[in-house]
């Protein structure tokens, strides 16, 4: 997730991506990091068979540099479009 200026990046894991994106967009948790920085644009996602695989990938992404995160996004979404409209 990112904001309209693509200046802040957020990585998370969920079992229901559509619902989680809705929560971010509606700021269901007003004190959260994503609400504080207006993170409401889905620019990258992956699907996994197990939650364990998803958590492992989340940790790898979070542990990487901003450049690595941007390269990952650019590899599939170079225009940084909001992918939530395709879910």
pLDDT tens-digit readout, 47-82: 999 999 999 999 999 999 999 999 999 999 999 999
pLDDT of residue 53: 98
Output the CA–CA distances (angstroms, integers) from residue 80 to 4, 28, 30, 49, 75, in the order listed: 10, 24, 25, 26, 10
How far does the chain reach from its first CA to its final CA, in angstroms? 14
User: To which residue do tokens 């979404």 refer?
Assistant: 77
pLDDT of residue 13: 97
Q: What is the pLDDT of residues 5-64, one digit of tens each?
A: 999 999 999 999 999 999 999 999 999 999 999 999 999 999 999 999 999 999 999 999
The CA-based dihedral angle spanning residues 32, 35, 39, 41, taken in that order and rounded to the nearest 10 degrees: 110
pLDDT of residue 45: 97
Q: Quote the CA–CA distance of 24 and 45 in Å, as a whole number.
A: 15
């Amino acid at each position: 997730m990112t904001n309209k200026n693509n200046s802040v990046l957020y990585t998370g894991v969920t079992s229901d991506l559509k619902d989680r994106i809705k929560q971010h967009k509606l700021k269901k948790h007003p004190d959260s990091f994503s609400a504080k920085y207006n993170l409401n644009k889905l620019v990258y996602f992956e699907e996994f068979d197990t939650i364990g695989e998803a958590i492992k990938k989340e940790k790898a992404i979070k542990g990487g540099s901003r450049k690595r995160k941007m390269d990952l996004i650019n590899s599939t979404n170079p225009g940084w479009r909001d992918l939530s409209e395709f879910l």
